A and B are shown apart, each in its own frame.
Chain A
């Protein structure tokens, strides 16, 4: 299983706060997300490392997708 977690307005875009997906083979992150999904001003961390929508995801990965916020 790979775990996807969404923060901020990306929860609305994904329609959920988190999701677990069973992957038979590594998949591009964007293929696991609803379309369209925001591409600008977002941060993607895969196992705490910076990734992008084309990063390959496999079982065991923890992916966090969050907006760039600016701390008030």
Chain B
């Protein structure tokens, strides 16, 4: 099949061994790329290991569309067994490294083992080197990237970690291009555990395609179509920050550790404020609808904002001032910490302090304290030690019912959407295959436009449909979903793209089948690695069921546990999983996963 570089690069940091392997035709056909390749490799190669041991592996995986001259294709997936959740973990990232990896002749990079000292992995086409990175250890991601560009030039791709990853904060991310982040469930910590400070890639080859002329024509048409969309200008102005006002209006803004869905200071940091304060726009390679809003933070330095980090470091911790939020966000990027989990951890500590469960005074909206907490978390010192492994772990340490408002699912902190009044989105978070993340299915618009308060089967079907498209296709192709989801770029373009790239004809039904296979294998991975499983793993936190909103138009609203449970049962039924959420042998074999079920026997909790 064309369109792939066709090779996997394997580097072992313990012994310096480097190998290249062919990627089989079956692998391309059955798993497409990106997330699909990653979960297959983890299933086959990473079993029952400590995620922070040298036996874990980290996978950098592109797809057939990565790097092609098509809209928003500058993406790769970074995956590993998660040190935050203990299950399957991944995240996508927009980076020149994705393009350089393919130009260097590889679809996938697997890093194994552990370097005896801090190192940087340098990939220049077929020339692979591990260089000493002692001079970079301890440096922020911004400093690291400056130094690496100084050494290797501008025309490279860099994936790096900050001190957070070095210290193995369990929600440390991988960073690139001073503000792009990927791998929420601790992919940065996995790099840190391997003493791998950075991967630098310089590829000089050509990315192959079956029909380059057709591809050029489709690319031009696609870019032009996106720019002509009705919503384009607004998107360019606000990017994902358009969601801030929208979520506040619809009572789904995460506020005071997800107690409320509306924020009394929202006007201080909504999309209009962003437009007024914006000094630049940033984005991923090959994108013509860049979403990064750069503003000057309260220290006068540049910070790249999007909705998730403003939501979590703003209303969720009671911060009122956008420039101060921007400073916290820049600190998170420099330390290489996930802003969603970070905002949730700080919110958790503020609530714990308010309830008298910890002796330290950590008040809502206290800017000085928030800054200190970021440093403490990055170092694993003081109060930072308590949330170093995320809010689930923190609630297990302090007890006293704090698990009810530790806002996570499967150990991953929930993205910036409050679901007291969004049962479909609660199910989406509950069943997200990496823990509570929004990338797989975001269903709030749809449920508000139909019947917001219902718990019907149609809503469950919608969640699965979105998981197939967003979590299955886009994460594996590997290409950004935002042209489709944010400016209504047509889904019908993607089978055409795949055909021009690979030479094989695809229908959306084929992508759905691949998506279902990937979802079954991700779920199987969790179950095998956890050793036991029950439907409780697919529940959002008790707060949403027990504590109704006290403010706004949704005052008094909370989720109904019995009805949520019914939706979850339908979800399992539609996926062919049993009532504990374990894929049945039939469902696995229907998606071509023979032999997987025997590794799951006896796992029902």
Contacts and interface: CB of A to CB of B under 8 A. Distances in A.
A61 to B, nearest CB: 14
A7 B486 contact: no
B44 interface: no
Given A9-B234, A12-B233, A66-B249, A71 B442 contact: yes
A15 interface: no
Contacts of A53: none
A8 B486 contact: no
Nearest to A50: B449
Nearest to A9: B234
A9 B249 contact: no
23 contacts: A5-B249, A8-B234, A8-B245, A9-B231, A9-B234, A11-B234, A43-B445, A50-B451, A67-B231, A67-B246, A68-B445, A69-B485, A69-B486, A70-B442, A70-B445, A70-B485, A71-B243, A71-B417, A71-B438, A71-B445, A72-B438, A72-B485, A72-B486
A48 interface: yes
B147 interface: no
B307 A7 contact: no
B415 to A, nearest CB: 8
B485 A8 contact: no
Contacts of B79: none
How would you classify the secondary structure of chain A's contact residues: helix, strand, loop or mixed? loop
A8 B484 CA distance: 17
Contacts of A41: 488
Q: Which residue, A38, A41, A67, has most C-beta atoms of chain B within 10 A?
A: A67
Contacts of A11: 234
Interface in B500-516: none
A63 to B, nearest CB: 12
A45 B417 CA distance: 20
B442 A72 contact: yes
A57 interface: no
B553 A48 contact: yes
A72 B307 contact: yes
Given A9-B230, A9-B231, A69 B448 contact: no
Interface residues of B, number: 33
B482 interface: yes
A50 B486 CA distance: 21
Interface string A1-32: 00001011101110000000000000000000
Given A12-B234, A13-B230, A66-B246, 11 more contacts: A5-B249, A7-B249, A8-B231, A40-B488, A43-B445, A45-B448, A50-B449, A50-B451, A70-B485, A71-B243, A72-B306
Contacts, number: 73
B593 to A, nearest CB: 30
A13 B232 CA distance: 12
B334 to A, nearest CB: 22
Contacts of A71: 243, 307, 417, 438, 442, 444-445, 485
Contact of B449 (A9, A13, A68, A70): A68
A69 B307 CA distance: 12
B308 interface: yes
A69 B233 contact: no
B426 to A, nearest CB: 14
A13 B249 CA distance: 19
Contact of A69 (B246, B291, B439, B553): B246
Contact of B243 (A5, A40, A69): A69
A50 B234 contact: no
A68 B553 contact: no
A46 interface: no
A38 B232 CA distance: 14
Contacts of B482: 72
A68 B462 CA distance: 15
B487 to A, nearest CB: 9
Q: Which residue, A8, A12, A40, has most C-beta atoms of chain B within 10 A?
A: A8
A12 B272 CA distance: 12
Contacts of B448: 43, 45, 50
A65 B234 CA distance: 15
Interface in B430-470: 438-439, 442, 444-446, 448-451
Contacts of B446: 68
B242 A8 contact: yes
B307 A9 contact: no
